[in-house]
Amino acid sequence: MPLLGRALALAAPALATAALLQIPAPAHAAVVPDHAVIICQSASFYANYDSSSGPTGLVRTLYYGDKVGHTRGAHPVYNGWAATFDFGPNDWGYVRDECIGGYGSW
């Protein structure tokens, strides 16, 4: 077996293992968020959502007209809490789904 063939034969299992061990990106990060705005007077923006206790880690309050992103059907919504991208500081969190609207308005 030529040297290149042996090197590939030895590397293939390691590459396959590395591919299997890669941790996928969060579901909400895989799709570019649709432009939207906050339509409630104020909306709490949480860092995470725990299925047993609800939203956790209050980050800040968003206000009417703040620019956010959420792609309906692609980004998760858990018990009314939608994975949302805040275009202000450019970070992900969770906001009540009914507080997101004005899709494509900017």
The pTM for the full model equals 0.72
Residues 41-55 have pLDDT tens digits of: 999 999 999 999 999
Residues 53-105 have pLDDT tens digits of: 999 999 999 999 999 999 999 999 999 999 999 999 999 999 999 999 999 99
More confident residue, 20 or 68: 68
Give the pLDDT score at 2: 64
State in words which class domain 30-101 has: mainly beta
Query: Is the pLDDT reported for residue 5 higher than 70?
Result: no
The burial class, CB within 10 Å (0-12 / 13-18 / 19+), for 105 is exposed
The pair of structure tokens assigned to 91 is 């970070």
